[in-house]
Amino acid sequence: MSNSDLDTVFISSKENIRYFSGFTGTFAFLIISDKKALIVTDSRYTIRATEECPNFEIYQIKSGINWIENITKQIGTKILGFEGENLAVNMLEQMKSKAPNVSEWKDFSDPVTQGRVIKSEEEVDIIKRTINISDSAFNEVSKVITIGMTEKEIAWEIEKTMRELGAESPSFDTIVASGVNGAKPHHTPTDKKIEDNEGIVIDMGAKYEGYCSDLTRTIYIGEPSKKFKEVYSTVHRAQLIAIETAQPDMTGEDLDALARTVISNAGFGENFGHSLGHGVGIAIHENPTVGPTSKNIIKPGMIYTIEPGIYLENWGGVRIEDMMLFTDSGNEILSHAIKEVF
């Protein structure tokens, strides 16, 4: 705020609300000025907000009360920053009409979210524990996958095990893509049974103390074919090169190119359609971006994934994903789930 002309900010995304206040419920807003920090919620969450947000004053919304006008008048808001990336257009219009005392409304999405990109030691610590949960769950479940199990059953085993290991939830719906389904990077698990001699792409993550983890492994049931070995080793090599040769001051684009070149040189350039990676934190996808057009510089303290893949229609796919902490000397690999070499 001190770097802008805003006198008040309105935080509405659940990730930023949790980041700034500690609130874990599903309905609240933060209104912050240099003199006041308010958490606005309703009776379902007032006790929780009191417990979780000791640094915030609680404002309880009651029906028929014009809370946005009351609060902004009390604060003396003239220029209000809001999260344009998150706030619904109709809610913004409604608030504008209810608080004519506010003279200007400005989109403040970028600076609000950029603050989360460099992780504190405490955040790194929590994320490491979160990663540990999904790594352990993968190691446990991958051992019991057998022919005849369905994709849905495997996904459920993974999600159940992560909960048993302390996760508050999965960080996203688990992906289990077997055989030809592996060609769809974001396949939803089906009742398809695992067959002999096919690959399985498993993309999974845990949420713990508000932070996410993200992990992909591709395993093989039976004796891997020559083609599978070729595709797998290409993806693996691309991943290792990106992990090991990343240097301070590279952009997300540079990092992406390291892996993409390996895959293109092997003749699979057309079959790697997504970005190399993405930041991970309170949200499963956040800054920095690590893709072909990512101009952001990768800096120490950033946590992100490196996840190259190759997807071949009517054949299947391979993706390998690990989480990195960028340090002064390059990537520190945070994921430690079993990774096979074919």
Residues in the site for Zn ion, rule: CB under 5 A? Answer: 203, 214, 216, 305, 321
> What does residue 11 show for φ and ψ, rounded to 5 degrees?
-105, 125
d(CA 320, CA 305): 10
Pick the closer one to Zn ion by CB: 181 or 305: 305
State the residue for tokens 């994921």. Answer: 335
User: How many CB atoms are closer than 10 A to CB 22?
Assistant: 16
Here the tokens at position 290 are 């690590």
Pick the closer one to Zn ion by CB: 179 or 309: 309
d(CA 60, CA 205): 34
Here the tokens at position 297 are 């510089």
d(CA 141, CA 157): 7
Pick the closer one to Zn ion by CB: 33 or 174: 174
Here the tokens at position 47 are 């006790």
Pick the closer one to Zn ion by CB: 8 or 216: 216
State how far the alpha carbon of 271 is from the alpha carbons of 179, 219, 290, 309, in Å: 16, 19, 18, 8
Pick the closer one to Zn ion by CB: 258 or 280: 280
Q: How far is the CB of 319 from Zn ion (least distance, A)?
A: 8
Q: How far is the CB of 62 from Zn ion (least distance, A)?
A: 42
Q: How far is the CB of 142 from Zn ion (least distance, A)?
A: 15
Q: How far is the CB of 128 from Zn ion (least distance, A)?
A: 17
Q: How far is the CB of 170 from Zn ion (least distance, A)?
A: 11
d(CA 107, CA 232): 44
Pick the closer one to Zn ion by CB: 79 or 165: 165
Q: How far is the CB of 141 from Zn ion (least distance, A)?
A: 16
